[in-house]
Amino acid sequence: MNVLKKYIAPLIVTAALFGAAGNVAAANLLVNGSFEQPGCSGSCILDTPAKANFITGWTTFLSGAEYFNMPASIGGSAAADGVVIVDLANYVYGNGGGIQQNFATTPGAKYRLTFSAGNSRFASRSGSGVVQVKVAGQTVSFDTPVAKGVAVEWNTVTYDFTATTAQTTLAFFNEQNPYANYAFIDNVIVERL
């Protein structure tokens, strides 16, 4: 019994601690990355300065964005995380829409952006679109998945960047024709590597 206490018990505790540490996810540096706060019962158009800060932690720019409850708006569809999403292709105006958030970073440190991009053929849209991302002075474009039907299709996008300042702005935007394209985003995460 003493052999068990002296040699085996510490090994079991060590293995348990390493196993638990491996399951801990890095903290998301963003506020409200799945856009669940404050929520929207149907479809909310965030197209005026008075609505620019409607989504907790985020600010709209260009012509704003659409913010809606996915299951309530497009039957048979689900958000990537939770129930609400942002559509960057604001159909009220044809000049593009966007959303952004500032967050603390360490200059020279590496970070990983992960988000879900989605699309649908609902309301006679093409089923394809582009999500543009600007972060740490770099602008990159990502295609949404090509939707085969009305149900929203999602894919996960990952992009690594190096911070250049103590505060970084992450911006998502779309400048396509909103009557032909969607540009859905959800489940936005930024983690330090």
Q: Is residue 141 part of a domain?
A: yes
Q: Is residue 86 part of a domain?
A: yes
Closest by Cα among 61, 77, 66, 62 to 35: 66
- pLDDT at site 24: 54
Q: Is residue 9 part of a domain?
A: no
* CATH number of the domain residue 147 falls in: 2.60.120.260
Closest by Cα among 26, 4, 1, 181 to 114: 26
- pLDDT at site 102: 98
- pLDDT at site 25: 61
Closest by Cα among 184, 124, 137, 121 to 157: 184
SS3 state at 143: strand
Tokens for 43, please give them.
Answer: 């479809």
- pLDDT at site 15: 45
- pLDDT at site 12: 46
- pLDDT at site 43: 83
Q: Is residue 184 part of a domain?
A: yes
Q: Is residue 20 part of a domain?
A: no
- pLDDT at site 4: 44
Q: Is residue 30 part of a domain?
A: yes
pTM for this predicted structure: 0.85
Q: What is the pLDDT along the chain (193 residues), one digit of tens a residue?
A: 555 455 444 444 444 444 444 445 679 999 999 999 999 888 888 888 889 999 999 999 998 999 999 999 999 999 999 999 999 998 877 778 999 999 999 999 999 999 999 999 999 999 999 999 999 999 999 999 999 999 999 999 999 999 999 999 999 999 999 999 999 999 999 999 9
Q: Is residue 153 part of a domain?
A: yes
Number of structural domains the chain divides into: 1
Q: How far, CA to CA in Å, does 33 sit from each of 30, 57, 186, 192?
A: 6, 9, 7, 15
Q: Quote the strand ranges of the chain, DSSP E.
A: 43-46, 59-62, 65-69, 84-87, 97-104, 110-119, 130-135, 138-143, 153-162, 167-174, 184-192
